[in-house]
Amino acid sequence: MASIVLLLWCRDRPGIVAAVASWVTSIGGNIIDAQQHTDGHDAMFFQRVEFEVPPDRAVDDVHRSFGALAQELQLSYRFGVRPYRPRAVVLVSKPLHCAMDLLSRAYLGNLSLDMQALISNHPDARNLAEMFAVDFVHLPVDDSDDGRATQEDALAQTLESLQPDLVILARYMLVLPPAIVRRWNHQMINIHHSFLPAFAGANPYRQAHDRGVKVVGATSHYVSERLDEGPIISQEVVPVSHRDDVESLARHGRDLETIVLARAVRAHIDHRVLVFGNRTIVFD
């Protein structure tokens, strides 16, 4: 049976949980999961409620009904439905491990994604797309300003034609123009090859090796106009030592990147991520 997910946030005060639970009961609903978080510093309340409603209850009616309560209680909110299978586009450059992992999970049904296309600035990913019967779009770019602008325009047009619900940057090594980022605000997830904020730019594992780090990590976040500074969804680290060379660090990193990106995408699909400012509340 399909369920409805309600994410809400507001100034913290007594009675919100009771009011929401009472509303679910009033529409004939049954709560199957409820989680909440109170941020004492900002005096904010956050909640995720997943509930089922009778089959004859239209989702639009549920939305309208809650709108009145939200106005009364001065809540901000959004709804989602589970199961949810978003139309997804994957952007990738030469490192293919994250794209391979996502396509494999989607193919096996371990990640609920309707893959629309694999887009790359290099031809290397063509065979990967063909392996999983996903459309491949090659958008090469040269280093000139005109070449970069042409490629960005082509990417914007391609995304508009595909109309994805979710854009995943699976080690896409080009900086996206602000217009594209704004168009898919909080619908575009990136994987970064370090435990942010650290070792930005090229050769992160060489930087990590040179610094003698004791952990390596990966970070998945929503894309923002400020490079690698969007709201963080998921992070993970593993311990390393002086015995790890650059390639060993990179291997640990690649393993983490696939896990962390898939975890972030799943949290997004399950409507478990609530963005507040430049941070997230990720419900279990």
Protein fold of 87-282: Rossmann fold (3.40.50)
pLDDT band at 209 (very low <50, low <70, confident <90, very high): confident
Q: What is the mean pLDDT of the segment spanning 239-257?
A: 90
| pLDDT attached to residue 59 | 86
Q: For CA atoms 82, 170, 239, 204, give the dihedral sign.
A: negative
Q: How far is CA 208 from CA 172, 245, 246, in A?
A: 21, 10, 8
| pLDDT attached to residue 44 | 96
Comparison of pLDDT for 198 and 256, the residue scoring more = 256
Q: In this model, does residue 179 exceed pLDDT 60?
A: yes
Average pLDDT of the residues of the chain: 93
Q: In this model, does residue 180 exceed pLDDT 70?
A: yes
| pLDDT attached to residue 206 | 78
| pLDDT attached to residue 237 | 92
Comparison of pLDDT for 117 and 247, the residue scoring more = 117
Comparison of pLDDT for 172 and 57, the residue scoring more = 172
- Where in the chain are the domains? 3-82, 87-282
**Is 245 marked active-site?**
no
| pLDDT attached to residue 200 | 63
Q: In this model, does residue 199 exceed pLDDT 70?
A: no
Q: At what angle do helices 204-211 and 246-269 cross, to 10 degrees?
A: 120
Comparison of pLDDT for 197 and 165, the residue scoring more = 165
Among 53-62, 120-129, 141-150, 156-165, the minimum mean pLDDT is found in 141-150
Q: In this model, does residue 53 exceed pLDDT 60?
A: yes
Protein fold of 3-82: Alpha-Beta Plaits (3.30.70)
Burial class (CB in 10 A: 0-12, 13-18, 19+), 222: buried
| pLDDT attached to residue 142 | 86
Give the span between the Cα atoms of 211 and 269, in whole angstroms: 37
Q: In this model, does residue 43 exceed pLDDT 70?
A: yes
Residue from 12, 124, 228, 255 carrying the catalytic annotation: 228
Q: In this model, does residue 197 exceed pLDDT 60?
A: no
Strands 273-276 and 279-282: antiparallel
